[in-house]
Structure 1
Amino acid sequence: MRVCGIYFITPGYPDTPLPILASRLRTEVVDLTANHTLTQIFYNPYPPNSTNEAPANAKEAKYTFPLYESSAIRFFSAEIGSKFINGVIKPKQEAKAEYNAAKAAGKQAALLEQNTGEVFTTSVGNIRPGEFVSVVIKYVHELKQDIEVEGVRLVVPTIISPKYGHADFTNFGVGWDNGWNNMSTKLEKIAEGRLETKGLAIEVMATMNGSIRGVQSPSHPIAINIGSHDASGQGEFNPQMARAVLAIPTASTTGLEKDFTLIISSTDISMPRAFIAPHPDIPSKSTLLVTLVPRFELPQQRPEVVFVVDRSGSMTDKIATVRSALHLFLASLPVGVHFNIISFGSRHSSLWPKSKLYSAESFEAAKRHVDGMDANMGGTEMLAPCSQAVSSRLKGMNLEVLVLTDGDIWGAEVLFDFINKSTSTGDARFFSLGIGRSVSHLLVEGIGRAGKGYSQIVGAGDNMQKKIMRMLKSALTPHVNDWRIDWEGKEAIMSSFSQENTAEPTTHAPISLYDTSSNPDEAKPTESSLPARPPILQAPSIIPSLYSFTRTSVYFLLTECTAPKVIRLLGTAHDPNTNSIHPLALNIPVATITSSSSALGLYSLLGRKLLQDLEEDRCGYLPAHSPHKDAEGTDLGVTFGLASKWTSFVAVATDDGDDEMDIEPNVLTPQGSDDEDIELKIHFHSYNSPMAIHAGASMARAGGSSAGMQQTTHMLRATPQPPPPFESVRLQQQQQQQQQQQQQQQPPAGRTFQSLSGDTGPYASYAPPPPPPPPPPPSHQDALACLQREYPIQRRASRRYSAYQIAKLTGTSPNEVAVSASSSPSLKKKRKSSNPSYTSTIESTSTDDTPSGIITRLSRLQLFSGHFESSQALLDVIGVSENVIKEVGDWTKNGKETIWVSVVVVVWLRKLLAKYSEEWEMMADKAWNCAMSELGAEEVKKMEAEAEKVAEGSTRVFD
């Protein structure tokens, strides 16, 4: 499903997208944060006509784009024709009313709203025929730690996953996919001579705290320059700087087929750090950021582990990967845990009513259950299986729930609320593993955040095994429920605030219980103001649990407070196995940030975290479900200047020409246009452009634009281009039907059309004429004319194509047309095969000889005890012959063959797959511990020496 870009919405008609001619993303990575400027340029090819049909006279278009849920939108502007409109943040209802009034008055206007936590929609009013539209959005987000390298991962999302359930979405349909090649040349000719820049470009400029060791993109080919931001590569070399560019300079290629991923590795990126960033315009406020990737060891616990596995239909191309992951989980579980597996789709079922002790019997039963798993359980209903995991839990032990999913759900906040309550006592945690490129980050990260665990996304080509093993290790660590950050003077500040805001109640004169002058029907509620905010605000209000190799960041807003010099992170771990307490502590020095743009970026991220806490009822200074929640959300959104659940950007063109700008924009003017009345101006702003803020204070500093700003601006997923004329789709249908008729040696039969609502129309026996020969390629002169047709796009099943549109394209009477795109076998086939298969480093076949595949195969061969029995399958995996196993040493003759083979496997893993140790070490530990307990250290040491010889003779070779 593609839902990004601008498309006309007119009641009773299909949604119609505007073609996108250019898409630019300019990203400035500063250590752990990324500032983005997204610019997309669209064109309205639809001419006015006298039929009053959409989209020619549509009053409104929607601009929809995806962002990851941690992003904070801090600036929005648009240019419609010659009108530049600048967004101002306002309370949501106020902004919407202003936009509607402007639209009704015929003014060009735009309204940017948060649709969900990761989808924003902008309503654009009164786009006239023949006009160009440019949209500029600036947003900031915190980068994720890459679990495989010492670095950060930048991801630009390209698609929004289909939701299971009912909601307002747009499906641009198979027509666009089928006819895209025919449209490419037309778009090229539209852009030719009109735009200085066209196509797709992503530019990333990184400045890291440590030396940059590498920049790579596992998703796309890129140009890289390490040592400078200069495109020419000249200038003084700086090891802390790098530049990466992805450019496709054609107007027909303005979108990405998969997320753009960039990994930047640098020295010291994982070290614990703290920064204080004074606000450049509000001297009394400062942002404090504490961030670290902890590395510490605690003794393993023996909890109850429940795997909640998505087996909905969308998992078809991923279920083999999930089976492999579960086999690795099962083989790595330590003795003493209890476990269960719950599968879900539209319904759910569990392996056992309650978790069972990890034993040889339960281990084998679980392996058989996993082998029989298929993606055959319908849709995605996640609350019920998570509820069962909690309601059926065993008493007296901690619960660890690991959720594996590839999709999204509607009403995720209900699930988050349930998980919040289930983990509030501190004896349960939820972890989530998102699989595939269409998974909702809002859902996956929300589960980890609410569940006091953490989340991981596994994309195509990612090393899933390393991620799932680290997740299992984290689930086996003792619970720490009292993480806190302290510094000198903090407790005194908060204590003083508490005393000032907990004054004794005022006593009034007694109220008579029978007052003849009172009128209870007219009594009004007492007006109450928002509660005072503490001088130190923390977000998230509850410090997340800390896990090795997973980044944790905590923000503070300090108001009229002295900046700390050193902060102290404290916690206490309880080991239930030995009933012992382990105090945890770390001192982190605080560095000062002097860059205004970096300070404003951290301020915006702090605001986003505060709003997120409020949305999820975890606000530190308001109780859950507080009556002040909406008012506080509105005030926070306006104060920080961010689009949110309670606030929106509204932009309205003025009556006296273009809006005034506080800084000189860079302008791109179309070149050599035949239409002198069409002019395109694209305004690029630096991140310091002024914007309004609450209480009259400026939230951003004005600043000049850089010389290279014209080339940098930038992208997200493109709007689908208008599909080809419906005639070409109908021609394909006719040709396929004729081929089928000839194969069956039957005379031509009539065609059946259905309406999109699924009803059979009154003209169900429409027989098409023989197909004409294919039309010649469009000429340069008629390219624009071809674009300026109305192309039917598939909407929801409840929407019908405009009879006028179908009649215009097929040459029939409007009263004789009722059509459904789903009635064509060719379209059904195309739709069924449109999703690319999901690839992973884990394969389901028994012949996967990659390191990850070998480890997966070994996990299936390991016994519950930890031993490996000698078998041809095992010998094939490790590349050793049976004769070698028998000839080296004499353990095969004295009843110790199983232990001997197990030692051989462990030594083989250490020798040949040492760099993949995190994926197999829990399996190897089980095998080694069994050998040590049965034979003792001395004899195992002898076996180890002999096993070295066996491993050296292996035929397996790995890079």
Structure 2
Amino acid sequence: MEICGLVSVKNEPVPLKSISVEVRVQDHVATVSSTLQYVNEEERPLEALFVFPLPADAAVCHFSAKIGEQEIVAEVQERQKARDQYDDAVSSGQQAFLLEESTESPDVFKLSVGCLSAGQNAAVTIIYVTELAVQADHSLRFCLPAVLNPRYTPAGSDEVLETSDTSEISGTSEISSGCGAVPYTLTLSVHVSSPKPISKIESNCALDPLVFLHSDHTQATVNLSPGHMFDKDVELFVYYQDTHQPSAIVEAGVATAPTGSLMSDPVVMISLYPEFPEEEIKSLATRGEFVFVIDRSGSMGEMMHHGKGAQMRIKSAKDTLLLLLKSLPMGCYFNIYGFGSRFESFFPQSVEYNQKTMDQALKRVKEMQADMGGTEILEPLKHIYSQPCYSDHPRQLFIFTDGEVFNTKAVLDLVKSHTHSHRCFSFGIGEGASAALITGMAREGSGHAQFITDTDRMQPKVMQSLRFALQPAVVNISVDWTLPDGVTVDTLSPPINVLFQGQRTLIYAQLKGESSGGSEGTVTVKYRLKNQPVTNQLHFCLKPTEETELSIHRLAARTLIRSLEQKERSGGADVEGIRSRMVELSVQAGVSSVHTAFIAVNKDSRQTVKGPLLQRRVTTHDLSPVIAIMQANCGQLRTCGSHLSALYADEQSFRCSKMMFPRAFTFLKMSNWEPKVTAPKQKIGFMTRIQNFFHRSSATATAPSDQTDSKSKNDAVPDPQKDWTLLQLVFLQKASGCWDLSATLADVFGKTEDELTNQKPAQVDGSVWATLLALIWLYGCKIEQQVEWQFVAIKAASWIGSQKVGDLSQCVHVGNVLLGCQVTKETLGI
């Protein structure tokens, strides 16, 4: 059985001492240099093994090791050739380093550090480039995955590490304040430059003050504050002015590269933000089949974050389902799936959305728990795709998961094979979400990906994706280039299958030939939206941008390699030719791929190796008696649940051990073992049942920071009571969009039912009055959370519009006086 970190056969201290990270952000691209400092504290040579995550679409482009004053720079080779060279070097006593990408998930890498002498230090440097994702608030998100994090703890993980050796490392462990201190230090510095002024930089971690290097605010630096505990992903959010302006970066090729190769020619990266006609943006679809797929594995019972007031992941998902169910348009179809080691659906097939089916679904949502074992998403997806689609109701898939699966590429291939029959919107919950899985499902399913980490509120991000899902589908998308005579273009990115208002689209292309005089190119995107032709254009300069350090070429190569990988997995003719092309691209561009590896050998070092090399992994604690259980093989682990329950009888200790040994607990989840954790019992009164069920977490998005501040995104914590009132109001809404006049509704407003009834204008129906008050309260008291209740309000306004209401302006005036608001009739959208 594989356990966490870098642990020797004697479970002795960690050889990883420090991590230093430098990030250079240039507009939408980040170049990241990470240096990991190791030391061999053994009395004989050591082989260190380390598995760690990187961003899903990162292109690893440099790997080197420095031993003393000597630096060894790795080269990219065909994978098996690199492995053979590594094995030969280590067995002959030479120092060697091998960096490989997982065959199952492109965001997991394995580093083998071979034959470190006793007491010797080694500094390993890895450099990669990655695109920065655009967030709902228009910021660009950079994420540094925590090395000590059970993020990639796949079920049946031999495929990930390609070994059955029980001493191989499997993943990494998350450290909480209750479990001890991280054994190494992390330093992080960031340099940001952009043609557009930088507004601010925020983070989920504490930062030093932001320093602008120029008066026009186009360059800035910021550092992670000292003392950071690397116990979670480090997220940075970069805000530019005019983020949504289309842009192009042209990067010159390498003069010494083979003529006609990708690296020899200029490459252009186009960033587009398609602009939809205003009238089409406002006309949201009223049809569709909405399928919500909720992860109910054991890990969903963990907290969203480790801070005060954290909410369980499954609880946040249930609150979000409430908002989604209330926001759906009448007459659409829907279903809800829960999955773990098995899966189940609320209805045999999607049903029409009405009051009856909504009530049935809400009852089931209340009963949902994180009680379905492991995380197996492939089978429920197969079942969903096997269901026939409804005519004129395009299928929209919403998938919520913390992303711990081993067969990422198989899942992505399945989603891609059904891309023409649905759109997929994916949500990574908590620190354990695999970026490769979440972003990959959205990309292959022509949808949109969101990450809900730390103190993020799930609801705003999900509602943004619902708005995308309700947008009319864009069809017949084409990309045309207009270039000077003598210049041709070879598009490297896959064809565009989907466009959303406000969502960025990236295109990579290779420019061939020499211009006969022109210095400008044009890219034109054409499509049809609700049978209307739309054209967006971008003019760009062909002059190469300086100081890009081949980052655009490497990202373009990575994009092309990913497309070739998918072709290879789909089978068909010339698989060997596709694989050969991938290896050629990878070696020429110097970027990682599934068929290559980085290999570095110190040929000057050689020593006699007596006996087997020690193997080590990261650990941070003296290992308790439970280590004996953890090191047992898979068959023995099937019977160890009772021992674990006895050792960890309280919830805090159990959670702590689970963080230390994620692989073992993942196996136990697969075996449907659940810990017998004792917890204090609580008495719940009738008046607090609804409140407790839909009680909001105190975790939320931060308040806006000062323009020059670099603040933590979890500085601001809202009042849970205020959040509860919003969810209670939503809970009381009917499927049609109206509310009934009741004491419970009056309680939300802080009034009595008599106060609401006595102020009701004559000749106005009770439901109309209640619905009007609900709208006034939302716009007057909850405007800062409008993104969460926008569709609830649209339904309510539409319902009122269908009723016969006398003097609506007078009704709004009376409602304002009653609730202490100042909302105009026009604001309500009636």
Deviations 1:870-906 (A, max 9, x none): 2233222233443442343424xx4601111101111
> CA distance change for structure 1 residues 151 and 484 in 2, over 3 Å: closer, same or farther?
same
Quick one: distance in 1 between partners of 2:51 and 2:580?
27
8 Å CA contact retained: 1:338, 1:358: yes
Q: Which residue of 2 aligns with 1:866?
A: 737
2:79 matched to 1:208?
A: no
Deviations 1:706-737 (A, max 9, x none): xxxxxxxxxxxx9734533x6xx46xxxxxxx
Displacement of 1:921 after TM fit? 1.3
Quick one: distance in 2 between partners of 1:484 and 1:843?
51
> CA distance change for structure 1 residues 595 and 172 in 2, over 3 Å: closer, same or farther?
closer
Quick one: distance in 1 between partners of 2:485 and 2:288?
36
Displacement of 1:248 after TM fit? 3.0
Over aligned residue pairs, what C-alpha RMSD do you find?
A: 3.5
Counterpart of 2:501 (choices 516, 538, 548) is 548
Displacement of 1:796 after TM fit? 6.2
Counterpart of 2:472 (choices 466, 478, 481) is 478
Deviations 1:533-578 (A, max 9, x none): xx60321x121412234322121122336575221111123x4xxx
> CA distance change for structure 1 residues 304 and 463 in 2, over 3 Å: closer, same or farther?
same
Q: Which residue of 2 aligns with 1:613?
A: 563
Counterpart of 2:388 (choices 362, 386, 393) is 393
Counterpart of 1:430 (choices 424, 427, 433) is 424
Q: Which residue of 2 aligns with 1:632?
A: 581
Q: Which residue of 2 aligns with 1:120?
A: 109
Displacement of 1:942 after TM fit? 3.2
Displacement of 1:607 after TM fit? 1.1
> CA distance change for structure 1 residues 952 and 625 in 2, over 3 Å: closer, same or farther?
farther
The percentage of aligned residue pairs carrying the same residue is 25
Letter paired with 1:912: C
Q: Which residue of 2 aligns with 1:311?
A: 296
> CA distance change for structure 1 residues 920 and 796 in 2, over 3 Å: closer, same or farther?
farther
Deviations 1:627-667 (A, max 9, x none): 4221111111112110110111111113389xxxxxxxxxx
> CA distance change for structure 1 residues 309 and 754 in 2, over 3 Å: closer, same or farther?
closer
Deviations 1:249-302 (A, max 9, x none): 6xxx7x511111111111011222222222254595111111134453443331
8 Å CA contact retained: 2:49, 2:617: no
Q: Which residue of 1 aligns with 2:129?
A: 140
2:789 matched to 1:833?
A: no
> CA distance change for structure 1 residues 607 and 125 in 2, over 3 Å: closer, same or farther?
same
> CA distance change for structure 1 residues 614 and 631 in 2, over 3 Å: closer, same or farther?
same
8 Å CA contact retained: 1:112, 1:120: yes
Secondary structure of 1:75 counterpart: strand
Quick one: distance in 2 between partners of 1:795 and 1:225?
47
Quick one: distance in 1 between partners of 2:485 and 2:811?
59
Q: Which residue of 2 aligns with 1:28?
A: 24
> CA distance change for structure 1 residues 800 and 139 in 2, over 3 Å: closer, same or farther?
farther
8 Å CA contact retained: 2:39, 2:122: yes
Q: Which residue of 1 aligns with 2:357?
A: 362
> CA distance change for structure 1 residues 755 and 412 in 2, over 3 Å: closer, same or farther?
same
Counterpart of 1:443 (choices 433, 437, 441) is 437
Deviations 1:72-95 (A, max 9, x none): 111111123554321011111222
Q: Which residue of 1 aligns with 2:674?
A: none
Quick one: distance in 1 between partners of 2:485 and 2:813?
59
Displacement of 1:15 after TM fit? 6.7
Letter paired with 1:308: V
Secondary structure of 1:934 counterpart: coil
8 Å CA contact retained: 1:406, 1:435: yes
Q: Which residue of 1 aligns with 2:521?
A: 565
Quick one: distance in 2 between partners of 1:69 and 1:847?
31
Quick one: distance in 2 between partners of 1:625 and 1:468?
42
2:40 matched to 1:37?
A: no
Letter paired with 1:42: Y
Secondary structure of 2:224 counterpart: strand
> CA distance change for structure 1 residues 360 and 623 in 2, over 3 Å: closer, same or farther?
same
Q: Which residue of 1 aligns with 2:621?
A: 723
2:804 matched to 1:855?
A: no
Secondary structure of 2:550 counterpart: helix
Counterpart of 1:221 (choices 191, 200, 206) is 206
> CA distance change for structure 1 residues 175 and 91 in 2, over 3 Å: closer, same or farther?
closer
> CA distance change for structure 1 residues 323 and 175 in 2, over 3 Å: closer, same or farther?
closer
8 Å CA contact retained: 1:35, 1:140: yes
Q: Which residue of 2 aligns with 1:940?
A: 808
Counterpart of 1:583 (choices 526, 529, 533) is 533
Q: Which residue of 2 aligns with 1:951?
A: 819
Quick one: distance in 2 between partners of 1:246 and 1:80?
27
8 Å CA contact retained: 1:610, 1:619: no
Quick one: distance in 2 between partners of 1:905 and 1:44?
66
2:787 matched to 1:918?
A: yes
> CA distance change for structure 1 residues 403 and 98 in 2, over 3 Å: closer, same or farther?
same
Displacement of 1:177 after TM fit? 8.2
Quick one: distance in 2 between partners of 1:720 and 1:484?
50
Quick one: distance in 2 between partners of 1:175 and 1:334?
42
> CA distance change for structure 1 residues 436 and 490 in 2, over 3 Å: closer, same or farther?
farther
8 Å CA contact retained: 2:290, 2:335: yes
Letter paired with 1:413: K
Secondary structure of 2:548 counterpart: helix
Instruction: Write out aligned runs for 1:82-101 (5 A).
Output: 83-101=70-88
Using the size of structure 2 for normalisation, the TM-score is: 0.79
Counterpart of 2:272 (choices 245, 269, 292) is 292
Secondary structure of 1:248 counterpart: coil
Using the size of structure 1 for normalisation, the TM-score is: 0.69
Displacement of 1:393 after TM fit? 3.0
Secondary structure of 1:935 counterpart: coil
Deviations 1:282-336 (A, max 9, x none): 5951111111344534433311111111111111231111111111001000112
Displacement of 1:129 after TM fit? 1.1
Q: Which residue of 2 aligns with 1:261?
A: 235
Q: Which residue of 2 aligns with 1:734?
A: none
2:618 matched to 1:652?
A: no
Secondary structure of 1:607 counterpart: helix
Deviations 1:777-830 (A, max 9, x none): xxxxxxxxxxxxxxxxx54645999xxxxxxxxxxxxxxxxx999569445756
Instruction: Write out aligned runs for 1:320-359 (5 A).
Output: 320-359=315-354
Secondary structure of 1:206 counterpart: strand
Q: Which residue of 2 aligns with 1:152?
A: 140
Quick one: distance in 2 between partners of 1:208 and 1:79?
32
Letter paired with 1:161: Y
Quick one: distance in 2 between partners of 1:82 and 1:628?
42
> CA distance change for structure 1 residues 83 and 242 in 2, over 3 Å: closer, same or farther?
closer
Counterpart of 1:374 (choices 369, 373, 377) is 369
Quick one: distance in 1 between partners of 2:317 and 2:455?
14
Quick one: distance in 2 between partners of 1:21 and 1:650?
23
Quick one: distance in 1 between partners of 2:134 and 2:538?
19
Counterpart of 1:246 (choices 224, 245, 248) is 224
Quick one: distance in 2 between partners of 1:820 and 1:321?
28
8 Å CA contact retained: 1:211, 1:267: yes
Letter paired with 2:540: V
